[in-house]
Amino acid sequence: MKDEIKGILDKLQNGEISPEKALKLIKNIDIKNDFDKIKPARKIKILIIDGDDHKKIHLPGIPFGLVSFLGKLGIIIAPLAIKNNRNIDPKAREALKVIKEINLKEIFDVIKAHGSFDLVDVISENDVVKISIL
């Protein structure tokens, strides 16, 4: 698929085809076969290194089933835990209402469908934050 698109873009750049024709050709490329080859992701892995404080958090691959279960549990428990807490920030209360509406299964299904990739990969002089989908 990448070679087909590259060929179309080369023809466009050389003036052999119009932008409209290039768009039509790219739209007609069968990308379904490429997605069929992707192995669905099964885990999320987190690595955080705080170089200044010499602290490291390295969580092994956690299955999405467990992450989903814990997320649902948190969405259920959080409102109960703060229900009678008068000291909670009003914005936090509003955020919890929004979080309650989130469909974690839908989010995880989309993430898993894309196979393995780095969701977050930030490296600074002393610090590292990496969240990988495996």
The band of 34, judged by pLDDT with boundaries at 50, 70 and 90, is low
What pLDDT shows up at residue 35?
Answer: 54
Enter the pTM of the model: 0.61
Here the tokens at position 43 are 């885990």
Q: Which two tokens stand for residue 41?
A: 């992701």
- Cα–Cα distance measured from residue 10 to residue 3, given in angstroms and rounded to the nearest whole number: 10
Averaged pLDDT of the chain: 85
Amino acid sitting at position 21: K
- Hey, which residues does 56 pair with through a beta bridge? 49
Q: How many other CB atoms are there within 10 angstroms of residue 68's CB atom?
A: 15
At residue 81, does pLDDT exceed 70?
yes
